[in-house]
Structure 1
């Protein structure tokens, strides 16, 4: 549901430059980078009970929104049985707080976790409140073996795009459950010593990562990166408090991605970027899309 079509990606090597691109014919054959993969939470996906929903508004959306850029919201309602329509075989799990859907490519590493509430996207203030479910932890749990969104890929990448209409094609919040390209992990490992677990430093921990465009060409971008030990906290709130408010930015232009940290004490890397990201001299600019990091098709 990003702005670019689902794509064939190629592998990245462990180097951080253009020479790190390997085997353009090797699409979808990512190599494991090794290291300790975090264990899924023991709590069952779905959580108890339904959560409160945001007050309908122009910023968060209205329950009556339908069709076009709200097609994903239509699908959620059909999965829940609150709206009539053709059955969707991609209703993989339906809970009081979210549904899990196929992402559209038919691959085994392309799924979506979509809130049951009407939530436009990362710009909706509700997702930063204490009433919001922990959508990131639910996404991680649902991407594990035995779960309906099991990502069959060496390592998992979770991601949310910015609200830019040229990037995000559906205006209903959705977390991508996908693979993350091998080589992204290796580059993060190489930058690890410069990455802190102190949220107050997150906005200044900017590193260049070489991803890929939809055509398989190198796509260097800069990302703010933070270590977190687990996904028990609200990452949207962490982004708001640690990056958006201190820099005077807006949530609408932010992208957010999560992938396991495979070295040291483990945990996760949380990556954030935006198109106007101030970067050190000589580094590539920022981005509002997760599509350079994630492998879908």
Structure 2
């Protein structure tokens, strides 16, 4: 067994202890259906092991091509630096495993980190990440945000997030490991009694949340919210099967954020939104970005 694989297993074992600290609840996995692409077509078979030794998607327009470089693909260049297949750009690799690497975000501080696949994966629109062949990137992100890790998020509460294809500025899947604005947790606590824990109802559980812009101004948007007991299931698959498929939406348009549930028996809130989100009268519209929820600076 390689050192990376042993390290992966060690980090996952640590989650059993760390999850209790953050109110992660029990470790019973939520069931998620495994099927074809919700937005049309067939789920491609994984290609042979990629640069990091992981199963990777077949190169395509949706998932990206390993040869892409520079500009919007700079994060992919940095992943390859961590894997030893490139020498530039200069990169501070906080952790490198067979499945993912962890980097500092920008601006660089103690609550702004990124987790990126070692596979070439453009973003949330790549069908591979919603299959059983994909690693559990969200659980990996949560573990890496905990105390004792190089990417420990030093903030009152942690927020993880992925932006939609149209709102991100880099075309390599990256989960933000950041703080979450305190007001978001307060609002979620207030709505808690009406937030569903049934994935089948996630698509209709729409909650208005007043987030913040980068300048600190209020940014009211609406989000679909689901309460889960843990992060053991593939959240991309859960989103595809519970929301995207049933509503006829596109995965590329989705933003997804995760933050601990601080009331009741703990667990996590999953917040999903898209620009075309149909909201009740009087509620603000949706969004394709998690930037109104997460604290990077």
Q: TM-score range by the shorter chain?
A: 0.7 to 0.9
1:5 aligns with none
Q: Pick the aligned partner of 2:132 from 130, 133, 154.
A: 130
Aligned partners of 1:78, 1:231: CA distance in 2, in Å? 29
With over 3 angstroms needed to count, the CA separation of the structure-2 counterparts of 1:39 and 1:148, relative to structure 1, is farther
Aligned partners of 2:156, 2:228: CA distance in 1, in Å? 20
1:69 aligns with 72
Equivalent pair of 1:128/1:237 in contact (CA under 8 Å):
yes
With over 3 angstroms needed to count, the CA separation of the structure-2 counterparts of 1:242 and 1:281, relative to structure 1, is same
Equivalent pair of 1:40/1:140 in contact (CA under 8 Å):
no
2:59 is aligned with 1:56: yes
Q: CA RMSD in A?
A: 1.7
1:206 aligns with 206
Q: Pick the aligned partner of 1:37 from 14, 17, 22.
A: 22
Aligned partners of 1:141, 1:39: CA distance in 2, in Å? 11
Aligned partners of 2:147, 2:266: CA distance in 1, in Å? 19
SS at 1:183 equivalent: helix
Aligned partners of 2:123, 2:244: CA distance in 1, in Å? 16
Aligned partners of 1:161, 1:41: CA distance in 2, in Å? 28
1:67-93 CA distances to partner (integer Å, 9 max, x unpaired)? Answer: 0000000000001101122441x2100
Aligned partners of 1:132, 1:177: CA distance in 2, in Å? 19
Aligned partners of 1:182, 1:226: CA distance in 2, in Å? 19
Aligned partners of 1:258, 1:129: CA distance in 2, in Å? 19
SS at 1:57 equivalent: coil
Report deviation, 1:183. 1.1
Aligned partners of 2:89, 2:265: CA distance in 1, in Å? 47
Equivalent pair of 2:24/2:260 in contact (CA under 8 Å):
no
1:228 aligns with 228
Task: Extract unaligned runs of 5+ from structure 1.
Answer: 1-34, 43-48
Equivalent pair of 1:256/1:270 in contact (CA under 8 Å):
yes
1:237-265 CA distances to partner (integer Å, 9 max, x unpaired)? Answer: 00000000000000000000000000011
Runs of 4+ in 1 over 4 A off after TM superposition: 39-42
1:188 aligns with 188
2:279 is aligned with 1:279: yes
TM-score by length of 1: 0.83
Equivalent positions of 1:132-211 (< 5 A) are 132-164=134-166, 167-211=167-211
With over 3 angstroms needed to count, the CA separation of the structure-2 counterparts of 1:188 and 1:64, relative to structure 1, is same
TM-score by length of 2: 0.83
Equivalent pair of 2:211/2:219 in contact (CA under 8 Å):
yes
2:249 aligns with 249
